[in-house]
């Protein structure tokens, strides 16, 4: 009996030490998983502009799916949050130039979409199907909510230089995202097969076949995208130019002289090539403190249209009372008459208006956004003579909800007057250029983008940059583009088909996972 006491104490101590060891091992494993999730997000973010290493988007998704394997719900959420932070801290780094606290809040909010997406991915069986559904559906949700959504930082933008971009003709940016996930899942299976084959695992062959099948499927989608209609028949050509006044970057509206901006762009028109039929000036190149009608700016623009015998498109901001303003694009005929006007519909939250201004003004200083933009309406089509332009003003270039209505109403070409002057680096101009390329591909239309300090560019319907300006340069870029009448598959189906397939994939993935958990009768 005397020996039993110490023996029982020893057992208790050994149990405690064993539990502590398992806890330390579990904690180290979890920390490793979170670190790998964060690293996978950083790797995926390197596919985004301006870095633009598109294969890293596929690799990042593959690593994420490996790390999520066999994890509990809580850890899948945490790993997804780490992946999201790895993606969006660099992907949304531009936002810290305006407000550090606001940028941090934005990065966390966007990362939470990835966290919930990973929570919806099954831990074992059905993981590839559920990943396809969850990551696509949450990317769609992120692009529409809150405040109209924020597609900036999405991994589809990192594929514009790679083969997956051709899939935009079939399914837009969400179609590209779906192909990215399938390619990542295929790579995950191939890597897993390679790692386990050396250990004599009998399942390695099955994983190799499954991974290879996914790669073949994505390749078939790429070939189908390349073979599909680039946007209908060419019905004419148009000699176009994008005008860039130039100047320093990283300046706010309060630091810029509006009259000087207008004068710089009118001065740049002296370099306009003879025979230019359509001339595009940037967003808010005319910044007013009074109505446009009767202003010297309008008189000068009319005079330039007449002098160069060109249709002229220019962005205008015009105050409405003391608290609101209009952001629109005006079209002027070669005769000097105003032909058309398109107002910006999709406003930039906290850039062009402050949601819940009365409440949030108690929490933050919004003096940099003294007025709220008035949301416009309509399809965005501008008629100039026989031409129909689909106008996407700045931020609208990220949204298919603005480009598709323009195509459906007969737009033969897309025009993007924009202004990224307030961003000091190359990130936002590069991201916006990628979005313009993706829009050109998705809609099957040539595109002209004009910015005060760059990038100004002309992009073909296959997403290739025909010509591009240098940042800050006083420059005119010009080319002859095609006018098209018709549609891509994406023009006809929009996001609906991809969303239905994503929902089915998520459902099938969970059905497959739950079927293994049911007891056998």
pLDDT given at position 404: 97
Domain ranges, ordered by start, for the chain = 4-228+496-517, 233-487
Using CA atoms, how far apart are residues 59 and 325, in angstroms rounded to an integer?
Answer: 45
More confident residue, 24 or 402: 402
pLDDT given at position 416: 98
More confident residue, 354 or 87: 87
- The answer to whether residue 26 scores a pLDDT higher than 70 is no
CB-based contacts of 26, cutoff 8 Å, min separation 6: none
Average pLDDT score over residue span 329-347: 97
Which range (8-17, 108-117, 178-187, 237-246) has the least confidence?
A: 8-17
- The answer to whether residue 19 scores a pLDDT higher than 60 is no
pLDDT given at position 515: 86
- The answer to whether residue 118 scores a pLDDT higher than 50 is yes
More confident residue, 150 or 100: 150
pLDDT given at position 493: 96
Could you tell me what percent of the chain has a pLDDT over 90? 79
pLDDT given at position 464: 97
3-class DSSP assignment, residue 434? helix
Q: Band of the pLDDT at 200, cuts 50, 70, 90?
A: low
- The answer to whether residue 134 scores a pLDDT higher than 90 is yes
- The answer to whether residue 10 scores a pLDDT higher than 60 is no
Architecture of the 233-487 domain: 4-Layer Sandwich (3.60)
- The answer to whether residue 4 scores a pLDDT higher than 50 is no
Average pLDDT score over residue span 68-96: 94
Answer positive or negative: Cα dihedral of 88, 92, 93, 96.
negative
pLDDT given at position 17: 38
Structure tokens at 398: 């990220």
More confident residue, 97 or 44: 44
**Nearest alpha carbon to residue 153 among 103, 199, 205, 221:** 103
pLDDT given at position 385: 95
Could you tell me what percent of the chain has a pLDDT over 70? 92
Answer positive or negative: Cα dihedral of 393, 397, 401, 404.
positive
Q: Sort 24 into a burial class: Cβ within 10 Å, 0-12 / 13-18 / 19+.
A: exposed
pLDDT given at position 66: 93
Q: Band of the pLDDT at 196, cuts 50, 70, 90?
A: confident
Structure tokens at 439: 């829009």
| Phi, psi torsion values for 158, nearest 5 degrees | -80, -5
Which range (364-378, 425-439, 461-475) has the least confidence?
A: 364-378
- The answer to whether residue 199 scores a pLDDT higher than 90 is no
Mean pLDDT of the chain: 91
Q: Band of the pLDDT at 156, cuts 50, 70, 90?
A: very high
Question: pLDDT per residue over 286-326, tens digit each?
Answer: 999 999 999 999 999 999 999 999 999 999 999 999 999 99
pLDDT given at position 23: 44
- The answer to whether residue 24 scores a pLDDT higher than 60 is no
Average pLDDT score over residue span 34-62: 97
CB-based contact 238:479 (threshold 8 Å): no
Question: pLDDT per residue over 267-276, tens digit each?
Answer: 999 999 999 9
For 281, left (φ over 0), alpha (ψ -120 to 50), or beta? beta
Average pLDDT score over residue span 5-26: 44
Cis preceding linkage at 50, omega within 30:
yes
């Amino acid at each position: 009996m005397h020996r039993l006491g110490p023996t029982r104490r020893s057992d208790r101590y050994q149990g405690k030490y064993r539990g502590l060891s398992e806890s330390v091992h579990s904690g180290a494993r979890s920390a490793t998983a979170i670190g790998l999730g964060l690293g996978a997000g950083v790797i995926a973010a390197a596919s985004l502009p301006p870095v633009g290493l598109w294969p890293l988007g596929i690799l990042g998704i593959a690593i994420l799916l490996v790390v999520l394997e066999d994890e509990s719900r809580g850890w899948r959420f945490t790993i997804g949050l780490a992946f999201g932070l790895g993606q969006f801290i660099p992907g949304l780094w531009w936002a810290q130039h305006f407000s550090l606290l606001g940028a941090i809040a934005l990065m966390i909010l966007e990362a939470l979409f990835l966290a919930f997406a990973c929570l919806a991915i099954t831990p074992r069986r059905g993981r590839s199907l559920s990943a396809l559904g969850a990551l696509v559906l949450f990317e769609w949700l992120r692009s529409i909510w809150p405040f109209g959504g924020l597609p900036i930082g999405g991994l589809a933008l990192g594929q514009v230089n790679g083969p997956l971009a051709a899939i935009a003709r079939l399914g837009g940016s969400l179609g590209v995202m779906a192909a990215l996930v399938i390619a990542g899942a295929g790579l995950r299976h191939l890597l897993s097969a390679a790692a386990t084959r050396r250990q004599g695992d009998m399942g390695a062959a099955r994983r190799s076949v499954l991974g290879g099948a996914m790669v073949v499927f994505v390749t078939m989608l790429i070939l189908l995208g390349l073979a599909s209609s680039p946007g209908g028949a060419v019905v004419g050509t148009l000699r176009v130019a994008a005008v860039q006044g130039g100047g320093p970057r990283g300046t706010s509206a309060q630091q810029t002289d509006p009259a000087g901006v207008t004068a710089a762009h009118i001065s740049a028109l002296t370099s306009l090539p003879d025979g230019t039929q359509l001339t595009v000036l940037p967003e808010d190149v005319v910044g007013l403190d009074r109505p446009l009608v009767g202003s010297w700016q309008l008189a000068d623009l009319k005079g330039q249209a007449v002098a160069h015998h060109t249709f002229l498109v220019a962005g205008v901001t015009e105050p409405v009372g003391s608290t609101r303003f209009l952001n629109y694009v005006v079209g002027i005929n070669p005769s000097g008459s105003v032909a058309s006007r398109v107002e910006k519909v999709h406003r930039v939250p906290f850039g062009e208006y402050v949601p819940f201004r009365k409440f949030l003004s108690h929490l933050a200083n919004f003096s940099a956004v003294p007025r709220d933009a008035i949301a416009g309406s309509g399809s965005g089509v501008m008629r100039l003579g026989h031409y129909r332009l689909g106008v996407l003003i700045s931020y609208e270039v990220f949204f298919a909800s603005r480009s598709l209505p323009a195509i459906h109403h007969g737009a033969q070409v897309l025009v993007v007057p924009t202004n990224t002057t307030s961003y000091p680096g190359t990130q936002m101009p590069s991201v916006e250029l990628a979005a313009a390329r993706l829009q050109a591909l998705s809609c099957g239309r040539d595109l002209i983008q004009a910015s005060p300090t760059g990038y100004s560019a002309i992009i073909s319907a296959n997403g290739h940059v025909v010509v591009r300006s240098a940042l800050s340069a006083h420059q005119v870029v010009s080319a002859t583009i095609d006018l098209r009448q018709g549609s891509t598959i994406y023009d006809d189906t929009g996001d609906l088909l991809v969303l239905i397939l994503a929902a089915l994939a998520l459902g099938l993935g969970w059905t497959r996972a739950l079927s293994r958990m049911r007891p056998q009768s």
